[in-house]
């Protein structure tokens, strides 16, 4: 309340600015503290003395260099010089409070994350770690991550972690969440829709696979979905083989995965899964030959006759019918050819 009353009575920051010319450091520190409070209202007037504030920051012996950097950052923010504002915000160190909710804080944090993201992506896409990242910049981003985790804004932390290629923060946000399956599903959605780099997307999916498998009840359906995008047919086949050898519920999950694979995987991927599964199967055991195998045909007939046609192959029995005209009657016991039977009339006829 006292600060608001003082602001209401002030019409100019000239008196406070004049204190910056005093030789005593304590007076200059007091002046900076007052300017930090007044900069929102008198930034245009303070901007005329920005060179003096910058000199205090560059003075290695000045006790409140971080405070002078914070004031300079706020002045440049109001002037619209965001790059300079960011530069002095980095110099402000702990004086730059990431937990603040002012428009100045939110804007500079956004600029920090954008700049940090560009550097991280450049480093990640390159084969070396030669891209320099200011430790002060990384410190602000790390404090922003901790703020998100502390406030329970896990989705925001996941989004920023993916943008900045911070796998460590991604894992931490998922593990600290009170809804790990939900965070895993959200992370997969973000990874598949927003990540343009196949290399980094695969890294994220591998993290998700490990986390899915470490759940109290592993989510093998989601694991295999990740494997599809990773183009890992061998691991998919191993999951299916493990499930079919498990309980009845595991087998049902395997069937569900099979349906999902049919709907979402390519034919080439399905063929590779089949090849891996077939290669892992044991050699087929030869079927036990029937007892009758190896017997001569006449022995088979005798065996059937002895059992009355039961057992083995059933042989249908037909009743013998009288031979009609033109039918052939086999010769008995002679093995000779069949001859036609003709009706014989009365010898007197003809």
Structure tokens at 130: 């030669």
Structure tokens at 300: 């088979």
Rg (CA), the chain: 44
CA 29 to chain centroid: 51
Q: What is the pLDDT of residues 254-300, one digit of tens each?
A: 999 999 999 999 999 999 999 998 887 766 656 665 555 454 444 43
Mean local confidence (pLDDT), 2-6:
47
pLDDT higher than 90, residue 316: no
Residue holding tokens 């249908």? 316
Q: How far apart are CA 10 and CA 2, in angstroms?
A: 12
Closest CA to 223 of 249, 242, 196: 242
DSSP code per residue over 295-320: --HHHHHHHHHHTTT-SSS-------
Mean local confidence (pLDDT), 115-136:
84
Q: How far apart are CA 91 and CA 59, in angstroms?
A: 13
* Structure confidence at residue 279 (pLDDT): 86
pLDDT higher than 80, residue 143: yes
* Structure confidence at residue 240 (pLDDT): 94
| Residues 259/196/180/247 CA torsion (nearest 10 deg) | 20
More confident residue, 154 or 293: 154
Q: How far apart are CA 105 and CA 296, in angstroms?
A: 98
Q: Which of 95-99, 313-317, 328-332 has the highest mean pLDDT?
A: 95-99
Give the H/E segment covering residue 238: helix 233-244
Residues composing the chain: 350
* Structure confidence at residue 108 (pLDDT): 95
Q: How far apart are CA 107 and CA 117, in angstroms?
A: 15
Q: How far apart are CA 234 and CA 344, in angstroms?
A: 84
Q: How far apart are CA 199 and CA 194, in angstroms?
A: 13
Cβ within 8 Å of residue 290, ≥6 positions away: 312
Q: What is the pLDDT of residues 40-51, one digit of tens each?
A: 999 999 999 999
* Structure confidence at residue 236 (pLDDT): 95
* Structure confidence at residue 72 (pLDDT): 97
pLDDT higher than 80, residue 93: yes
Cβ within 8 Å of residue 254, ≥6 positions away: 240, 243, 244
Task: Give exposure, 307-346, as e/b (b: 16+ Cβ within 10 Å).
Answer: eeeeeeeeeeeeeeeeeeeeeeeeeeeeeeeeeeeeeeee
Q: Are strands 328-329 and 339-340 parallel, antiparallel or unpaired?
A: antiparallel
DSSP code per residue over 119-164: HHHHHHHSSSS-S---HHHHHHHHHHHHHHHHTT-HHHHHHHHHHT
* Structure confidence at residue 321 (pLDDT): 45
Q: What is the pLDDT of residues 163-208, one digit of tens each?
A: 999 999 999 999 999 999 999 999 999 999 989 899 999 999 999 9
Answer whether 187's CB lies under 8 Å from 204's CB.
yes
pLDDT higher than 90, residue 301: no
Kindly indicate the confidence band of residue 330, based on its pLDDT and cuts at 50, 70 and 90. very low
> What mean pLDDT is reported for the chain?
83
Mean local confidence (pLDDT), 305-311:
45
* Structure confidence at residue 350 (pLDDT): 40
* Structure confidence at residue 169 (pLDDT): 96
Q: How far apart are CA 109 and CA 140, in angstroms?
A: 8
pLDDT higher than 70, residue 129: no
Backbone torsions φ then ψ of 339, nearest 5 degrees: -125, 145
């Amino acid at each position: 309340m006292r600060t608001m009353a003082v602001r209401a009575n002030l019409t100019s920051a000239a008196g406070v600015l004049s204190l910056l010319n005093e030789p005593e450091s304590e007076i200059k520190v007091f002046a900076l503290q007052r300017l930090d409070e007044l900069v929102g209202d008198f930034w245009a007037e303070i901007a005329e003395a920005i060179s003096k504030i910058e000199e205090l920051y560059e003075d290695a012996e000045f006790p409140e260099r971080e405070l002078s950097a914070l004031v300079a950052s706020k002045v440049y923010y109001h002037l619209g010089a965001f790059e300079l504002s960011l530069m002095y915000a980095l110099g402000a160190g702990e004086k730059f409070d990431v937990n603040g909710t002012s428009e100045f804080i939110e804007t500079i944090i956004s600029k920090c994350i954008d700049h940090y993201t560009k550097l991280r992506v450049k480093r990640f896409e390159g084969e070396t770690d030669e891209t320099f990242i200011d430790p002060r910049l990384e410190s602000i981003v790390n404090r922003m991550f901790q703020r998100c985790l502390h406030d329970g804004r896990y989705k925001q932390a996941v989004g920023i972690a993916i943008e900045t290629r911070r796998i460590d923060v991604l894992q931490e946000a998922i593990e600290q969440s009170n809804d790990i399956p939900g965070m895993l599903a959200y992370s997969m959605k973000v990874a598949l829709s927003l990540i343009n780099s196949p290399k980094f997307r695969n890294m994220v999916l591998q993290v998700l696979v490990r986390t899915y498998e470490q759940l109290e009840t592993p989510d093998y359906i989601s694991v295999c979905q990740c494997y599809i995008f990773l183009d890992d047919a061998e691991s998919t086949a191993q999951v299916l083989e493990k499930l079919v050898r498990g309980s009845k519920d595991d087998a049902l999950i395997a069937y569900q995965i099979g349906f999902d694979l049919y709907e979402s995987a390519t034919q080439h991927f399905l063929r590779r899964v089949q090849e891996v599964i077939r290669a892992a199967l044991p050699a087929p055991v030869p079927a036990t030959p029937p007892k009758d195998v190896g017997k001569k045909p006449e022995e088979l007939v005798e065996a059937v006759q002895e059992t009355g046609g039961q057992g083995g192959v059933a042989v249908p029995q037909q009743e013998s019918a009288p031979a009609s005209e033109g039918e052939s009657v086999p010769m008995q016991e002679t093995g000779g050819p069949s001859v036609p039977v003709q009706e014989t009339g009365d010898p007197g006829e003809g």
